[in-house]
Amino acid sequence: MAPTAGLRWAGLFVFVGLVTFMLGFGLSFFHRVVPQIQKVALAWDDGIAQFVGRDKVDQANHLLGGALLLLGVILIVKGVRDGVRRVVEILNPSMKDGKVVNVLVRRQQLAAGPRIVALGGGTGLSTLLRGLKQHSSNITAVVTVTDDGGSSGRLSKELGIIPPGDIRNCLVALADAEKLMTDVFQHRFKNARGSLAGHSLGNLLIAGLVDQCGGDFDKALSMASEVLNIRGRVTPSTLDQVRLRAVLEDGTEVCGETAIVESGRRIRRIFLDPGEVKAFPDSLAAIREADLIVVGPGSVFTSVIPNLLVPGISEALAEAEAPKVYVCNVMTQPGESDQFTASEHVSAIIANVDRKVFDYVVVNTGTPSSVTLEKYRSSDQYFVDPDIERIRAMGLRAIVGNFMNESDYVRHDPLKVAQRLVDLLQ
């Protein structure tokens, strides 16, 4: 539940409580209190009559009473506001200089936002989440768990847990926590030696929470979410140990995400190994209840399709009534989508998933600078050609525009993409 979701009920309880108290007070002390009030009222009227005259006492009492009521309301509101602000500042020193009310109002707005499910992995999903969280706190990120390289792969093999890396990135992307805390989660031991070398501190913390929770990854994920105070929820597509298996264009089979990408050959089909894994129930429930579903962006074969291969997920997507959108990549990836056009990204998904899982395709038409394109070309990465007519010929609706953000890297602009996605619900 969102932090401010119960404010209306709390206000109602306070109001009912005050009315009940006043009623009980009146019933209990009526015969004792009323005579005293009458004495005070007579003395008050005599005092007022000396200034305005006996014939104007009622009018003066009416005006003075109204002024006192207004002053009382102002003092109560100021007292409550200052008290709440002071308590919040004690609990969270960063919320000063009038930020408390703005934060509460903003959280209430986000709590009333649409229920959004985003499926994917890698940097693509975490980038998109940074934009989506500006529109809603009812976000569920469904993350792929087939990474077998780097820190995630090592922890998965050594501890028998699902790879935490992509999950960590999504937690940080949705975080409302202090920058110091998110920096801690993203810190990597680059210069360390021995067993810590290359590990991400966030991955180690998640692994530690799993161990503390007796192997319950879901509970550990909830604890990490509370630490980072995230807007929404992050769930794996499955809690089962699973890896990728690919059939390449020459018929060769390769197992493992890292080996597949490093093979350097075009991928024909991709599978889960083992194929019969169990979808995480909360991920399926989120898909069924969603107002908007987003697939991607991300590596088409190793981030996007693996989620869709988990039994039950493509079925849930096909049955969902919410608008379903695939966000196509801006640049190709070597060893995975070499020289793919936008329609070829879509075709790869259709070829590997036996159901229609989206109706819209977000296609970027903004072009990077020639200097940037040359830099990417040296790494065998190319701009994804927006062949929109081919996408439309597949029976899909194209959402076209300049959704690119060109800085050190060419990526989607999360704010632009998120705004266009949310506009579908208008």
Query: How many other CB atoms are there within 10 angstroms of residue 297's CB atom?
Result: 28
Q: DSSP letters along 89-134, please?
A: HHH-TT--TTHHHHHHHHHHHHHTS--EEEEE-HHHHHHHHHHHTT
CATH class label, 114-144+237-423: alpha beta
Name the one residue in this structure whose structure tokens are 């703005």: 102
What's the Cα-to-Cα distance from 404 to each of 329, 331, 362, 378, 409, rounded to whole Å? 10, 10, 11, 20, 10
Q: Please tell me whether residue 140 adopts helix, strand or coil conformation.
A: strand
DSSP character at residue 229: T
Q: Give the domain ranges of the chain.
A: 53-109, 114-144+237-423
Amino acid at 114: P
pLDDT at 100: 65
- pTM, 2 dp: 0.82
Angle between helix axes 122-132 and 414-423 (nearest 10 degrees) is 60
pLDDT at 201: 94
Amino acid at 155: L
φ, ψ at 284 (rounded to 5°): -65, -40
What's the Cα-to-Cα distance from 244 to each of 176, 209, 351, rounded to whole Å? 33, 26, 16
Instruction: Convert the pLDDT of each residue in 159-218 to its tens digit.
Output: 999 999 999 999 999 998 657 778 888 899 988 777 888 899 999 999 999 999 999 999
Query: How many other CB atoms are there within 10 angstroms of residue 81's CB atom?
Result: 12
Alpha carbons 220 and 251: distance in angstroms, whole number: 41
Query: How many other CB atoms are there within 10 angstroms of residue 386's CB atom?
Result: 22
The distance of Cα 118 from the centroid of its chain, to the nearest Å, equals 9
Per the structure block, which two tokens stand in for 205? 């913390």
Which residues in the chain land under pLDDT 50? Answer: 1-5
pLDDT at 2: 46
pLDDT at 300: 96
Q: Please tell me whether residue 412 adopts helix, strand or coil conformation.
A: strand
